[in-house]
Amino acid sequence: MLEVKDIEAYYGRIRALSGVSLRVEKGEIVTLIGANGAGKTSTLRCICGALRARTGEILYKGEPIQRIKAEKVVAAGIGHVPEGRKIFPRMTVEENLEIGAYLVKDKKLIHERKERGFELFPVLKQRRNQKGGTLSGGEQQMLAIARAMMQDPELLLLDEPSMGLAPLLVDLIFETIVKLNDEGKTILLVEQNARMALHVAHRGYVLQTGVIGLSGDAKELARNPAVQAAYLGGA
């Protein structure tokens, strides 16, 4: 479904990615782990069109997307839940969801997808008229995921969905990721919580200062001594 080939990306003169390559097959959960500043978010931003890769190629279902605008990437079937949630704090929960469906013209479909979001996260239904900025961190993360799902993406990019959340909410977010995958969504997951990410993923990549250092089956990566020492708190 997705193939990233040898991309380089820069912020001004600072190189963020130095030839990153990865692939995501239809129906997989693939995780990208690594230290802060390794380039995980930059990789997702290149895929979704928020950051332009200077070299290399990004193919979605065989078609190059690295030169098209971000809204075209969304229309092609890629949803993005950014780091830090980026919900609209002055809009209500319901308005945030409706903004997520800005490319959908069918009002019945918008209603059905909102109800699906409320089914995934019942607390959002209780808060539907509440301003997004008054929600807890966990509720904002639920809203960010539900908003991305309003476009019914085939591929979902998740950037640090568990960041700053209490353990019970972390479990809920990861249970939701697995549930969405079971329902047919393909997921590329960037996550600081490497233990949980490798537990739910099929395959994984380890990003080290802009370069893929390791890749393979998620369970095998979790058993790798170098991965355990660097990201899992030892053996």
CB 213 within 8 A of CB 206: yes
What does the block give as tokens for 45?
A: 């931003």
What does the block give as tokens for 11?
A: 């912020």
What does the block give as tokens for 211?
A: 């370069």
Distance set, CA 210 to CA 16, 64, 117, 231 (Å): 6, 21, 35, 17
- Other beta carbons within 10 Å of 31: 28
Domain 1-77+154-235 falls under CATH 3.40.50.300: yes
Beta bridge partners of 15: 10
Q: Is it the case that residue 20 has pLDDT exceeding 50?
A: yes
Q: Where are the domains of the chain?
A: 1-77+154-235, 86-152
Tens digit of pLDDT for each residue in 114-165? 999 999 999 999 999 999 999 998 899 999 999 999 999 999 999 999 988 8
Q: What's the pLDDT score for residue 232?
A: 82
Q: 133 burial class (0-12, 13-18, 19+ CB within 10 angstroms)?
A: exposed
Q: Is it the case that residue 31 has pLDDT exceeding 90?
A: yes
CA angle in degrees (0–180, nearest 5) for 33-18-214: 35
Q: Are strands 14-24 and 2-11 parallel, antiparallel or unpaired?
A: antiparallel
Kindly state the percentage of the chain with pLDDT values over 90. Answer: 82
pTM, to two decimals: 0.92
